[in-house]
Structure formats: C-alpha cells, structure tokens
Amino acid sequence: MLALLLVRRADHEADAAGDERAKAGSGEHLERNRIVRSGEGDTQRGYGGEGALGDPWREVASFGGRHDIEGRFGPKRFPGVFSGDAPTPYVSSPAMPTADLVITSSRVVTEDGVAPAALAITDGTITALEAPGRAPDARHRLDVGNSVVMAGVVDTHVHVNEPGRTEWEGFQTATRAAAAGGVTTIVDMPLNSVPVTTTARGLRAKADAAGGTALVDFGFWGGAIPGNLRDLQPLAEAGVLGFKAFLVPSGIDEFPAVSVADLEQVMDRLAALDTVLLAHAELPGPIARAARNGGDPRRYATWLAARPPEAELEAIHLLLRLAGKTGCAVHVVHLSAARGLEPLAAARAAGTAVTVETCPHYLCFAAEDIPDGATAFKCAPPIRERDNREQLWSGLRSGDLDFVASDHSPAPPVLKCLDSGDFVAAWGGVASLELALAAVWTGGRARGATLVEVARWLAAAPARRAGLEGRKGRLAPGLDADLAIWDPEATFTVDPTRLHQRHPVTPYAGMTLWGVVRETFVRGVRVYENGRFPSPPVGRWLRR
Ligand SMILES: [Zn+2]
C-alpha cells in the first residue's frame, strides 16, 4: 500500500480531498502533519521511501477538525486591508505560530553548495543553518530525509489579472499554483488587470485583491505608459519594486506602448527615483516589415516569422543607448532571441546596469517541434529554433543570462483559439507558474546543471533584481524561511486538469518533467504539502 501511494505521489496526483483540507490551518496542523514535538522523537521520512517510518499518508488521512478551523478563520478575504491612509504592510491572517522549527535534510542548497544541514526557523525567519548534529533545540522538528531543501522560487514575472480580469487568473488560483510549484514569492506585472497598475490607485486595487487571498508573498511592478510620468513617483513611494514598459503594443488597450521619446523621459525619471525599468524588448519596425509576408495563420512558422529576432535586437540596442544616456537601470524581460545576449553582456562589461531574464518555455521547447495549430505555445516574443534554445542555455550557464522567470500569462481557453488553431488571432501567453522549477530543472539536469545553479536562476538572482535580496531568495540566517522541498530525481507527467492555475491550458501537457515539489513553506508556514494547501492565505505584500 505504501509503495502504491508513493507511486501516486510521484505522479503528482493530488488527493481528491486536498482542496477541502486547503481551508484548514493552525499550529495544530503542524503537529498533525508529522512535525513532531521534541521528546516524541524525530520523524524520518524521505519521500523516495528511504528511511520512511510508518505511512505518512495514513497520518495525513487522519487529519480532522477542519470545520472547526475553518470557522475560526472566518471569511477567507479580509476586506479593506488597504483602506485609510496608512499603507503599512499587513499580516493577512492570524497565521499559526512557527517559532522553533528545525528542518533537516541531507541536501540543503545554499550558494556554497549542497550539503546535509539543519535549518532553524523562528518567527518565520531563518535563525541558523548548521550541520545536522549541531542543530539548536527546537519545539518542532521535521526531517525530510533526502529531499532537497532549497530557497523558495521567486518568480518576478507573473500576470495575475485580478482585479478586473479575474476570470483569466486570480490571486487565489495563481498563488495556489505558485505554492504547488515551490514558488514562495511572486511579483505581479502591471497589466491585464483592471485597472492597470499605472497609478497609486491601481496599486491599491491590486493590493486589496491580493490581501487575505494570496497564499505566497507578493510584490508589484508599476507600469510606465504614455502620460503617466507624474504617477511614477507616487507608485514608487507606495512600494512598487520597479516599472514595466512596452515598446510594442501589449495586447491590452489600457496599457499602451511608449514611444522612444516617452521612454527616454521615463528612464530619466526612474533614474532619479533610483529604480529599475523592465522592458518588453521588441520594437515595432521589424514586426511591421515581417507582417508583409503574411502566411497561413495555423502554421507555427507564420507566427515565428511575424516576430523576428531583429525586433528584440533593435529594442535591446535602443534600451542600452538610453541606459547609457539616462543612467537608468534596465531589465530585459523574457528574452527569446539569444543573439541579444552579446550586446547585453558587452554593455554590462562596460558598466551599464542591465540584467536579463528568459522563460522556461524558451528553454524547454523548440520551434521545429511545435505542431501547426498548437496555439498553447503562442507567446511574444515567440519560442525560437533549437539552436537558439541551446544558446540561451549557454548564456544561463555562463551568467550572461541572469535568471529565469515564468511570464505566467494565462487567458481563458477561448482566447487561446484552441479550436481554430489560429496563431495570429490567439492570445499570446504561456501559463507555467506551477511548472517553472520542474521545467528548468528538467532542461538543466539534461545539460549538467547543478541544484546550486537552479537556486540561483530561480530564487537568488530574481530576488536581487526585485530588491528583495535582504529577505528572499537564499537560505541564510536573517532571511525569510521560504522553502521549496522537492525531489529532483522524481518525475511526473503534466496533466493540465491537475494544475492549480485557473485554466487547464499549457504547452507542457503530457510532458514528463523531473522534479516533484513536496512541500512549500512561506516564512515558516507550510502552505503546500503533496497536493494540499494546509494553511490560510498568509501571503504578505513586499514593498520596496
Ligand atoms: Zn509578461
């Protein structure tokens, strides 16, 4: 029976009752989920079956009292968390106490390497990282055996779409997907919600929507659009972590692209505010030229040709020129064209403050393999050829590419034109928040990447870009106890209907990926455990 259950778990199948239990959460739960008190003996489990004592599933199955707990926490949302004039960070729920927890693993990932260690957590903060035998006394202990303990993923490119387009994706579904994927912090993009995050009022609407709903911590990028120069400072003061601008139409009327003249003004202002510009780096000129060629809209080749690498390259050159002129720090989001890495690396070597991310889909897929009509693969810039993909991997390994962010950008299936397979008409966007860690690890392990690299690409480097390095992205004393506990040697097959994002559309459908997330902790609170969400929504707003 145990073997059977472990196989099921390796298939990433959530217990049907998991969602019911999702509403439960308390200090009591910590005990019931096998974190035992000192004196009761430490649990030895290890998800691969190594050293497991007893049947962890039986213990979980015996979990009860959830109605009680549900009642205690009352309504899931906490309206008005951002009312009044005091925008102080809030604790969104009476979360369970987490003091004095020690987690032990034979594989704890730090910048120095992978080693056996004990991680001590008090009040949601990592207080010590010691050799297992030297772990401090603790009220609760959790030994995860051979499972990897890594800093939680910090995904700095997520489109949540709430409020206003919650039917596309909302904070509840997005942050569940995050927690299930080992993601402990998301930074939300300023577009696709209504209102867009281009004013302090829009930011408040976002924060109100996330407060009391989000299962993981969250921050916000502000938006720079034509005409909102005067909003940039209020947004910065209200806590956005930086600003995003589009150099081509975004697909959302409320979030127009900036002209070159706008862009220079924006960058001047952001430099004065000492914050970063995130740019969707494609310019319209090469796209307009390519559009003359037309083509069958069902063919992937048509979409690929419609967004040539030159659009990215010209945008990168413009951004670097203006970065030099204004002194504004620049971050290039979702780089697809690997040829962009050379000018970016050269500029960085010459002292320009520039960073660049790519996305899991550019690292996992290749244009040659995308079937015609398979619009789940549509995104902009597009997934390019295999050679290009390998150059992106080289860039990541060499450090020319700073990190990987999901660009989780879901839309209702009807907008993806799955029936017609029309690449031109379909909404561009790939939803992969829950799969980013597994997708990157699957590609990385095949190319000899290490767990330390994965932790850098998915946690440390994005946290630094968002200005969160003092709290997030690494396992070190003083930082938040945000953890992804996962098994790199386990595989699962992606079943879109089992993902926690709002819509079951993903180009990863049917793929077998390496790396199964077992548990996720946010500031010491276990927010995900094997298909269940055992805590209330504890996510907090992270401000600059
Ligand atoms: Zn995006």
Q: How far is the CA of 462 from the centre of ligand 1 (A)?
A: 15
Q: How far is the CA of 517 from the centre of ligand 1 (A)?
A: 24
pLDDT single digits (tens) 227-241? 999 999 999 999 999
What pLDDT was estimated at residue 4?
A: 33
Q: How far is the CA of 156 from the centre of ligand 1 (A)?
A: 10
Strand 113-122 versus strand 125-130 pairing type: antiparallel
Cα(500)–Cα(497) distance, integer angstroms: 8
Q: How far is the CA of 48 from the centre of ligand 1 (A)?
A: 36
Q: How far is the CA of 189 from the centre of ligand 1 (A)?
A: 7
In a 10 Å sphere around its CB, with 0-12 CB exposed, 13-18 middle and 19+ buried, how is residue 194 labelled?
Answer: middle
Q: How far is the CA of 221 from the centre of ligand 1 (A)?
A: 11
What pLDDT was estimated at residue 57?
A: 24
Decide: helix, strand or coil at residue 188. strand
pLDDT band at 135 (very low <50, low <70, confident <90, very high): confident
Q: How far is the CA of 162 from the centre of ligand 1 (A)?
A: 15
Cα(435)–Cα(496) distance, integer angstroms: 11
Q: How far is the CA of 477 from the centre of ligand 1 (A)?
A: 33
The region that residue 295 occupies, defined by phi over 0 for left and psi between -120 and 50 for alpha, beta otherwise, is left
Q: How far is the CA of 401 from the centre of ligand 1 (A)?
A: 17
Provide mean pLDDT across the span 448-459: 98
Q: Does pLDDT of 59 surpass 60?
A: no
Q: Are 383 and 367 in contact (CB under 8 A)?
A: yes
Q: Does pLDDT of 52 surpass 50?
A: no
Q: How far is the CA of 196 from the centre of ligand 1 (A)?
A: 13
What pLDDT was estimated at residue 62?
A: 23
Strand 276-280 versus strand 329-332 pairing type: parallel
Q: How far is the CA of 244 from the centre of ligand 1 (A)?
A: 10
Peptide bond into 116 cis (omega under 30): no
Q: How far is the CA of 380 from the centre of ligand 1 (A)?
A: 9
Provide mean pLDDT across the span 339-343: 98
B/e letters for 488-514, b = 16+ CB within 10 Å, e = fewer, are: bebbbebebebbbbbbebbbbeebebb
Q: How far is the CA of 281 from the centre of ligand 1 (A)?
A: 11
What pLDDT was estimated at residue 485?
A: 98
Q: How far is the CA of 157 from the centre of ligand 1 (A)?
A: 6
Q: How far is the CA of 330 from the centre of ligand 1 (A)?
A: 16
User: What are the residues facing 218 on neighbouring strands?
Assistant: 186, 541
Extract the tokens encoding 483. Answer: 């953890």
Q: How far is the CA of 148 from the centre of ligand 1 (A)?
A: 29
Q: How far is the CA of 30 from the centre of ligand 1 (A)?
A: 36
Q: What is the mean pLDDT of the chain?
A: 84
Q: How far is the CA of 387 from the centre of ligand 1 (A)?
A: 24
Q: How far is the CA of 158 from the centre of ligand 1 (A)?
A: 7
Which residue, among 283, 290, 241, 234, has the nearest Cα to 258 in the 3D structure?
283
Provide mean pLDDT across the span 170-175: 97
Query: What percent of the chain shows pLDDT beyond 90?
Result: 78
Query: What percent of the chain shows pLDDT beyond 70?
Result: 82
Strand 483-493 versus strand 148-151 pairing type: antiparallel
Q: Are 104 and 141 in contact (CB under 8 A)?
A: yes
What pLDDT was estimated at residue 120?
A: 94
pLDDT single digits (tens) 347-382? 999 999 999 999 999 999 999 999 999 999 999 999
pLDDT band at 5 (very low <50, low <70, confident <90, very high): very low
pLDDT band at 132 (very low <50, low <70, confident <90, very high): confident
Q: How far is the CA of 407 from the centre of ligand 1 (A)?
A: 5
- For 385-468, list the strands marked E by DSSP: 403-404
Q: Does pLDDT of 10 surpass 80?
A: no
What pLDDT was estimated at residue 534?
A: 97
Least confident of 8-17, 69-78, 175-184, 398-407: 69-78
Cα(480)–Cα(498) distance, integer angstroms: 29
pLDDT band at 72 (very low <50, low <70, confident <90, very high): very low
Q: Does pLDDT of 75 surpass 70?
A: no
What pLDDT was estimated at residue 228?
A: 97
Cα(242)–Cα(220) distance, integer angstroms: 8
pLDDT band at 172 (very low <50, low <70, confident <90, very high): very high
Q: What is the separation of C-alpha 500 from the centre of its chain, rounded to a whole number of angstroms? A: 13
Provide mean pLDDT across the span 173-196: 97
Q: How far is the CA of 292 from the centre of ligand 1 (A)?
A: 26
Provide mean pLDDT across the span 469-491: 98
Q: Does pLDDT of 154 surpass 90?
A: yes
Maximum C-alpha span of the chain = 74
Dihedrals φ, ψ of 479, to 5°? -90, 160
Cα(125)–Cα(123) distance, integer angstroms: 6
Least confident of 63-67, 339-343, 350-354: 63-67
Provide mean pLDDT across the span 425-441: 96
Q: How far is the CA of 198 from the centre of ligand 1 (A)?
A: 15
Q: How far is the CA of 250 from the centre of ligand 1 (A)?
A: 9
What pLDDT was estimated at residue 451?
A: 98
